[in-house]
Structure 1
Amino acid sequence: MYALITGASKGIGKEIAIELAKQKYNLLLVARSEGLLREVAIELQEKYGVNVNYLAADLATVDVARQVFDWVAKNQYEVSVLVNNAGYGSVGNFDTYSIEQNRDMMNLNMATLTEMCHVFLPMLKRQPKAYIMNIASSTAYQALPKMAVYAATKIYVLNFSRALKHELKDTSVSVTCISPGATDTGFNDRAAVPAKARKAAEKVAMTPEVVAKISVKAMFDKKTEVIPGTLNKLGAFLAWLAPKSITENVAAGIYQ
């Protein structure tokens, strides 16, 4: 059996791959950088003695989920774990980014994730036990000025995952949504997060290794929704409890 992980060349995705390799899952890794994928594949094969195959693909493109599935079917891999980790965000006012940039983000964060679940669900259903892990974000618990599109995509991921879990309750497939807070990855650099927000995040930032351990355990425990880290859980609760105008003003101030 194989675990398929998107966005697996670095950060949380790579660490999730490591956690699954430790449990002797063979791995299928998908990301944009073929060079990084090759390095990770060699590393995990040598260290954990599992089979690791990879596909370099731009997961923001239309119908890429079908491309990934065709690769899996052609090689007769049987997938019992699907991890939808690929995603990114951008900081700034909504209208400072082009329609194409916002569309690419929405395609990757929502459409590709949804379509990956759709194309792989028949395969997952025929396994005795199967798991879907969707990576959202702690931003899924509030509107986020300066990251309006990103936060909205993660709200979608959270609610889609919860609904899908309910629909699949009488099948062999379990769905878990993970909503990490600040994590020491390359996210801040790609998103162009300002120094003030980075400094605030340092107080609660978790390592990808810790987030991955929590995430994989939650998936196998069949948890529906998990926010790694006590402070992140508290932050999500306070965002739910406080008036929205207050949480939005605070968030906007951080990302100035």
Structure 2
Amino acid sequence: MSYALITGAAKGIGKSIATELAKRNYSLLLTDFDEANLIATSENLHRKFGLDVRYFVLDLTTSDAAAQLLAWSHPFHQQLKVVVNNAGYGLNGAFETLGLEEQFGIIDVNIKAQLAITHHFLPVLKQLKKSYLLNVCSTTAYQPVPYLAVYAASKAFVLSFNKSLKHELRNTRVSLSYLSPGATDTAFVVRARMKAHTLKTATRFNMTADEVGAIAVRGLFKGKEEIVPGFLNKLNSVLPKFFPVSFVRKIAASIYEEKQEKETAATTTSSLKQAGPEIQ
């Protein structure tokens, strides 16, 4: 029996990746800070696939989160074949208007937790004849994104880190892939506090979480290094290289800058309650 560990697995892309791995007969070790949805996802996957599904409620902003995850998963290390660092979040708004501590939280989850989990679990993964590590990045990593500045910068770090780590792991048993999704139809925007005009723009390019999850898992087992799901997202990861930074920055700012909303408060609230685009 092989196990896969997925962070941020309660919903969205993490849940979809977990589902795709369950389809391939992987038992699951799931973690998230969202206890209610994590329990529901775990129970649903166990019921649907009849596999062993364990869950661990964990806040990745805590300094010892990776150590806690390593200790909790220890009984399954000899069968742990896949680790997915999916957890991540962002905040939409001008840098100076957002709280400093909550912006540090973005760095804690998107950078520190991914690095710590990768560092803790690489020795575990190297024990197997073949194993897989998937670290989630974002299309925001390929250009500056005003009003999503810390999030995009954190993902730029993640992209650079994984490109370097791929080389370091080239002669090991661990196959590293990094996933860069774009706008995805999940509830990411609720936590990011994105505005209605941003939602409206992003929904034109949305992929579903299930589409992204299926592409991610196929790419992972094919040993693909960089996985960018969707043609438009592939363009978005390449085109910024060919334009001045000032132009790219202006286009991104037009999407994420706060504007006077034409919608009523009720309409905006209704939009946010729906599953919105997850800019991973």
Normalising by structure 2, report the TM-score.
Answer: 0.89
1:196 corresponds to: 197
Offset at residue 37 of structure 1 (A): 1.6
Q: Does the 8 A contact of 2:66 with 2:113 survive in 1?
A: yes
1:29 corresponds to: 30
Structure 1: gaps of 5 or more residues = none
Give deviations 1:213-243, integer Å, cap 9, x for gaps.
0000111111111211001111222212111
1:234 corresponds to: 235
Offset at residue 34 of structure 1 (A): 2.2
2:173 corresponds to: 172
In the TM superposition, structure 1's runs of 4+ consecutive aligned residues that sit over 3 Å from their partners are 74-78
Q: Does the 8 A contact of 1:82 with 1:133 survive in 2?
A: yes
Offset at residue 72 of structure 1 (A): 1.1
> Would you say 1:107 and 2:108 are equivalent positions?
yes
1:63 corresponds to: 64
1:39 corresponds to: 40
Distance 2:19 2:130 in 1: 20
Offset at residue 45 of structure 1 (A): 1.0
1:210 corresponds to: 211
Q: Counterpart amino acid of 2:141?
A: A
Give deviations 1:60-94, integer Å, cap 9, x for gaps.
21120001001111566632100000000001111
Q: Please, which moves more after superposition, 184-193 or 67-76? A: 67-76
Q: Counterpart amino acid of 1:196?
A: H
Q: Counterpart amino acid of 2:95?
A: F
RMSD: 1.1
Q: Does the 8 A contact of 1:139 with 1:151 survive in 2?
A: yes
> Would you say 1:82 and 2:83 are equivalent positions?
yes
Structure 2: gaps of 5 or more residues = 258-280
Q: Please, which moves more after superposition, 206-215 or 92-101? A: 92-101
> Would you say 1:11 and 2:5 are equivalent positions?
no
> Would you say 1:49 and 2:58 are equivalent positions?
no
Q: Does the 8 A contact of 1:78 with 1:123 survive in 2?
A: no
Offset at residue 125 of structure 1 (A): 0.3
Q: Please, which moves more after superposition, 92-101 or 14-23? A: 92-101
CA gap of 1:178–1:75, structure 2 versus 1, over 3 A, is closer
2:268 corresponds to: none
1:116 corresponds to: 117
1:145 corresponds to: 146
Offset at residue 202 of structure 1 (A): 1.2
Q: Does the 8 A contact of 2:77 with 2:124 survive in 1?
A: no
Distance 2:43 2:6 in 1: 16
Q: Counterpart amino acid of 1:41?
A: S
Distance 2:27 2:136 in 1: 21
Q: Counterpart amino acid of 1:66?
A: A
Distance 1:242 1:13 in 2: 33
Distance 1:223 1:74 in 2: 29
Give deviations 1:28-81, integer Å, cap 9, x for gaps.
000012222221111111111211001001012112000100111156663210
Q: Does the 8 A contact of 1:61 with 1:104 survive in 2?
A: no
Instruction: Give the secondary-structure state (helix, strand or coil) at the position aligned to 1:184.
Output: strand
Distance 1:234 1:76 in 2: 39
Distance 2:34 2:144 in 1: 31
Distance 1:50 1:165 in 2: 31
Q: Percent identity?
A: 45
Normalising by structure 1, report the TM-score.
Answer: 0.97
Q: Counterpart amino acid of 1:182?
A: A
Q: Counterpart amino acid of 1:251?
A: A
> Would you say 1:222 and 2:223 are equivalent positions?
yes
CA gap of 1:242–1:233, structure 2 versus 1, over 3 A, is same
1:158 corresponds to: 159
Q: Aligned residues, how many? A: 256
